[in-house]
Chains A and B, each alone.
Chain A
Amino acid sequence: MAGDGRVVLVTGVSRDLGRKAARAIASEPDVARVIGVDVVPPRGDMGDVSFVRADIRNPVIAKVIAKEDVDTVVHMSVISTPGSAGGRNTMKELNVIGTMQLLAACQKAPGLRHLVVKSTTTVYGASNRDPAMFTEDMEPRRAPRAGYAKDVAEIEGYVRGLARRRPDLRVTLLRAANVIGPHVSSPITSYFRLPVLPTVLGFDARLQFLHQEDLLSVLRHSVVRDVHGTFNVAGDGILMLSQAARRLQRPTVPMPGFAVGGLGSFLRSARVADFSPEQLSFLTYGRGVDTTRMREVLGFEPRYTTAEAFADFGSRLPVTGGRSEKVLSALARQLPDPDARPRPETASDPAAVTAPGGARRG
């Protein structure tokens, strides 16, 4: 379709990812104007994006859409961390009520043609009955009962409802894997920033990541491309949690599941890490999503694989382990090199469980 001069409204621009997404969309040649909406003004540079201070939880948003003649809405204002929103109740209200209001406004806007919603693979849940790779038409094996996953499931329900009521509207639902990047703050990044990683004893989760830049480009891509439907978006490949900890050179402390949960809620209340409760099952069982539709229907190819995205995230983190790697490399230097073997820069210490006194970034 690519109409000349599209007007895009982006919600949730006060947060880093929303602001960057708005700027990325503004840089598309097809897009004439980008309006960023949030309750609080964004902290960083907005570039060409014009900011409108409006709460998506009240009907003012409908007026903004009508007045600015918006034809594309990008909904980014789904918060995953109760800490940043100021409590679980506020978070739920922002997520669910905000989305309801926004979608109601979208339904009433005749000029609106395209809705892009950034969802997450958290909707698939994580359990021992999961298939290895979720495709878009699979349901979670256990319906989420609380927290972020439930919010997202409800949001997706409302989005599907809107798609049903407005068949002329193109709805693109992007289920992004855990977004990771040097500046991303999310439950999973704050977990990996802990100096010592608590892991669930006897389980090794499969993880999939999406680099922040890939999230921005998939949002841009779906704004300008004429695609409709639900898509899993994730980097190629899988990392095991133990493998990820080794690549980060982070010592791990295996402990029983309930202890990890207890430690997580303690860290959350101590504001050390935003450890969300549904993260425990994710760190126990992990999750993988199939991205065939992303490639074939959406036509998007992520630039970073899961491992590369994780390496980029880890490259700026201080090292807190890696003693056994040093010992091994010192030993290896004493011996002749039998064949050219790769010498990775990253290293880690899986065995050491002592808390290092190194620098920490909570």
Chain B
Amino acid sequence: MGDAEIIPIGTRGRPGRGTGTQPSSAARGLAPKSPTKPATAATKASPRRAGPVTDPAAPAAPSEPTAPAAASTATRPPARTEERHPLAGVPGSDWLAAFQQAALEVFGEQWEPQLARFLAFLRRRVTGDYVVDEYGFDQEVTQRFFMAALRPIAEKWFRLEVRGIDNIPAEGGALVVSNHSGTIPVDGLMTMVTIHDQTGRFLRPLGADLVFQMPLVSSLARKGGATLACSEDAERMLRGGELVGVWPEGFKGIGKPYAERYKLQRFGRGGFVSAALRTGVPIVPLAVVGAEEIYPLVGNIPGLARVLGVPYLPITPFFPLLGPLGLVPLPSKWLLEFGEPIRTDDYEGGASEDPMLVFNVTDQVRETIQQTLYSLLMQRESVFR
């Protein structure tokens, strides 16, 4: 041998995978040197070794004197494998700089007080040092999180266009009555964001009892300001000067097939009108165009819906087919128009006990919304634009 220089590729020393008795070359490279072995191994120089590699099992290159090599290998501490954290080598000052840069990026020039304020907010949440009203409405978290999460959807995805926002009174109780559509009550959420952003008031929605039965939805609804749609709560809120939102079509409205879009369903039993009459607050009709197209409801599984205890189980062109991706709403263009407030305070005392009057006012509200829907549909260029 010695006529050709053999360069092992990828392994150090003898290549090989290792057998039962002989460890593999990679393992040999890792293993600590035993102090006795090099002394004996140093005598038989390995001709196949080439390159400046220190192999613990194999001796040093033949040209080297054997004695110093043996001595040095004997005193060398055993090689250890040590897991290195990928972030270990970064010095502290770099960390600080990066953190400051990030804070500057997120909070702007005044990052220190901003961050301190944010921390104070976090601490308030963590210590429970905040106030909820008697319906469980948590104003802080609604403003900071729910609205912030919904706002981009309203502005960028559905490109909401609002008309007649001045019809919402600046203060005092009022009842916003809207059409309901869209398979999932997204229209309610969008209305809440819009009213908050444009007027600074919080819309307090009235929800069906199913909302308060479902886990997670129930606690989110209460935190967001909703309460049960019953006459007691509606009147209590209106007397308290809140802006209350009601969708009298209920599940009939959001669960109607796509073919019946923009056709108002029955407006309940007119309970919302009685509540408004009893408290003397104005009724603001609201027509929402665009929500019908976000999840076009083309089918229903009534049997399974009954088993699950929900009013309907929707099938949209995308929903069970594309799985979770089908839950992304179609980006339809939305138009919201708040109509002229309908006054209820000039009726005499027992007006709410007069069913005929209640039905008449209900029909008036319903007709107003229906007409507004038709005119908005005429003005709309297309569903998505």
Contacts and interface: CB of A to CB of B under 8 A. Distances in A.
B374 interface: no
Top 8 A-B residue pairs of the complex, sorted by shortest distance between their CB atoms: A202-B215, A246-B128, A338-B113, A202-B216, A204-B219, A247-B128, A128-B212, A131-B232
A240 interface: yes
Contacts of B138: 240
A342 B131 CA distance: 14
Contact of A338 (B117, B230, B233): B117
A299 to B, nearest CB: 22
Contact of B119 (A240, A243, A285, A332): A332
Interface string B101-123: 00000000000111111011011
Contact of B134 (A203, A238, A244, A344): A238
B121 to A, nearest CB: 9
A132 B135 contact: yes
A71 interface: no
B127 A347 contact: yes
B222 A206 contact: yes
Contacts of A201: 215-216
Contacts of B218: 128, 202-204
Among the interface residues B127, B134, B236, which one has the most CB atoms of the partner chain A within 10 A?
Answer: B127
Contacts of B236: 131-133
A341 B121 CA distance: 10
Contact of B116 (A129, A206, A247, A337): A337
Contacts of B128: 239, 242-247, 346, 348
Nearest to B121: A341
Given A238-B133, A242-B128, A332-B116, 11 more contacts: A128-B212, A131-B230, A132-B135, A132-B227, A133-B236, A201-B215, A240-B136, A247-B128, A332-B119, A347-B127, A348-B126
Nearest to A335: B116
B228 interface: yes
B127 A238 contact: no
For chain B, which range describes its interface: under 10, 10 to 19, 20 to 34, or 35 or more residues?
Answer: 35 or more
Given A132-B135, A132-B236, A203 B215 contact: yes
26 contacts: A131-B232, A131-B233, A132-B136, A132-B233, A202-B214, A202-B218, A203-B218, A204-B222, A206-B136, A206-B222, A237-B134, A238-B133, A240-B132, A246-B125, A286-B136, A328-B122, A328-B123, A331-B119, A332-B123, A336-B112, A336-B113, A338-B114, A339-B113, A341-B117, A348-B127, A348-B128
Given A203-B215, A204-B219, A206-B222, A238 B232 contact: no
B209 interface: yes
Contacts of A347: 123, 126-127
Contacts of A341: 117, 120
Nearest to B227: A132
Interface residues of A, number: 47
Contacts of B116: 332, 335-338
B219 A344 contact: no
B223 interface: yes
Nearest to A240: B132
B131 A349 contact: no
B145 interface: no
B129 A342 contact: yes
Contacts of A12: none
Contact of A332 (B120, B217, B232): B120
A99 B289 CA distance: 61
A137 to B, nearest CB: 10
A264 interface: no
A288 interface: yes
B127 A204 contact: no
B213 interface: yes
B356 to A, nearest CB: 27
Interface in A199-249: 200-204, 206, 237-240, 242-247
Contacts of B230: 129, 131
B130 interface: yes
A245 B233 CA distance: 27
Nearest to A243: B128
Nearest to A241: B219
Contacts of B120: 332, 341
Nearest to B223: A204
Interface in A133-182: 133, 135, 138
A194 to B, nearest CB: 17
Contacts of B133: 238
Interface string A241-271: 0111111000000001000000000000000
A247 B127 contact: yes
Nearest to A325: B126
A204 B134 CA distance: 13
Nearest to A327: B126
A202 B211 CA distance: 12
A30 interface: no
Contact of B228 (A129, A204, A239, A339): A129
Contact of A138 (B123, B127, B232): B232
Contacts of A350: 125-126
B63 to A, nearest CB: 61
A329 interface: yes
